[in-house]
Amino acid sequence: MKYKNLILASISILLFSCNNQNQRFNVDVEVPVSVQEIEKDNIQEVFTATGTIQSEYAVTIQSEAQGDYYLQINPRTGKKYKMGDVVKQGELIISIKNLEYENDVNIEGAKIDLDISKMEYEKQVALYEKGGATMREKVNAHKTLVTAEKTYQNAELNLAKLSVKASFDGVITDLPYYSQGVKINQGEDVLQVMSYQEMIMDLMLPESQIGKVSLNQEALITNYSLPEDTLKGYLREISPAIDEESRTFKGRVYIKNADMKLRPGMFVKADVIVDRKDSVIVIPKDAILVRDNGKAVFIARGEEAQERMITTGMENEGRIEVVEGLNEEERLIIKGFETLKHRSKIKILNK
């Protein structure tokens, strides 16, 4: 019996010793972590939307008369105009030849009639001043002159239908015809020009944002095929009406595109900056743990981790403002915090 008690006592001592060693191990083990010094920074609250951008100025020009199609020479290249060429307002791009139409317009005859009417009117004015013509003769001469001026103006307008010109500075985006001398009919699409200098993008904004968005708010524009290029736009138009079905309202962003990085029809992302705060404590959102009683983070204090409950404010995709709970220059644990407890031993890897 005495021998049996001795064995039990020995086992108890051994188990107690192992338990103490395990506790000591648990207390002394150092969890490897990475830290980041807490600093004040700026943070923006953004509303993100996607959509297709369009040119602010775009026109498809149709032929106003039938005739033979002739593409003109681009003075900047010395070659016939082609898709992608930059054009200036008023430049002649296409000429349509139709001799029968030109004869019907008879602009030379209209110009002669105008010149004769001017001379006759000037003659009647001079005679009237000398008493050699009546007021009626003078008025009739003026009426004839006005009619001749309108006839000549109409002739110019009709003759201009044979010339297809650029309506504004832009880029040729389509030339359906390219064969010289081919016959085209009136009303056919012959030229498309777009301006790339400024683009527009329509956004459908949720009703919840109506109190946050306002005119002239900045928008950061990115294209998925050009992720490193960010252009600036501004919210210039906001519809006051809410769509009953989608519970959204329409906004229109204007985008400066001087380098023509964006093209009409591109699918882009717009981050509309609806609010901004300067010089506040900002930390990565993924460093936060959600507890039953709120949000928590760990900071490094010497060789220990200390848990802090925090109150947050403005946030965006990757960062969040801390209103209460952290101080500037403290070291926030950003990696390895998932298994930490208050006062856990830590080993900082990026001192």
Question: The domain spanning residue 242 has which CATH number?
Answer: 2.40.30.170
Residue 22: the pLDDT is 47
As for how many domains the chain has, the answer is 3
Global pTM reads 0.66
In a domain, 332, yes or no: yes
What proportions of the chain, in percent to the nearest 5, are helix, strand and coil?
25, 45, 30
* The pLDDT of residue 28 is above 70: no
Regarding whether 169 and 125 lie in a shared domain, the answer is: yes
Please give the Cα distance from 346 to 305 (Å, whole number): 6
* The pLDDT of residue 9 is above 90: no
User: 245, 277, 309 — which closes off a domain?
Assistant: 277
Residue 106, CB-side half-sphere exposure with 13 Å CA sphere: 8
Domain that holds residue 206: 46-54+196-277
* The pLDDT of residue 151 is above 70: yes
**For 19-28, 133-142, 273-282, 332-341, which range has the lowest pLDDT when averaged over its residues?**
19-28
Q: Which residues of 58-86 are buried (b: 16+ CB within 10 A; e: fewer)?
A: eeebebbbbbebebeebeeeeeebeeebe
User: 277, 301, 324 — which closes off a domain?
Assistant: 277
Please give the Cα distance from 160 to 183 (Å, whole number): 18
In a domain, 223, yes or no: yes
Please give the Cα distance from 141 to 114 (Å, whole number): 12
**Confidence label for 25 from pLDDT (cuts 50, 70 and 90):** very low
**How many other C-beta atoms lie within 10 A of the C-beta of residue 155?**
20
Please give the Cα distance from 346 to 336 (Å, whole number): 9
Regarding whether 317 and 286 lie in a shared domain, the answer is: yes
Q: Report the largest interatomic distance among the alpha carbons of the chain, rounded to a whole angstrom.
A: 162
* The pLDDT of residue 23 is above 60: no
User: 174, 192, 210 — which closes off a domain?
Assistant: 192
Regarding whether 342 and 223 lie in a shared domain, the answer is: no
| pLDDT (mean) for 220-234 | 86
Residue 60: the pLDDT is 95
* The pLDDT of residue 346 is above 90: yes
Regarding whether 160 and 84 lie in a shared domain, the answer is: yes
CATH number at residue 334: 2.40.420.20
* The pLDDT of residue 16 is above 70: no
Regarding whether 301 and 187 lie in a shared domain, the answer is: no
| Cα radius of gyration (the chain) | 40
Is the dihedral angle over the CA atoms 32, 34, 38, 44 positive or is it negative?
negative
pLDDT tens column, 58-82: 999 999 999 999 999 999 999 999 9
Regarding whether 129 and 173 lie in a shared domain, the answer is: yes
Regarding whether 78 and 181 lie in a shared domain, the answer is: yes
Residue 31, CB-side half-sphere exposure with 13 Å CA sphere: 23
CATH number at residue 75: 2.40.50.100
| Mean per-residue pLDDT over the chain, rounded | 90
Regarding whether 157 and 71 lie in a shared domain, the answer is: yes
Between vectors from CA 338 to CA 336 and to CA 343, what angle results, nearest 5°? 80
pLDDT tens column, 307-324: 999 999 998 888 999 999
In a domain, 140, yes or no: yes
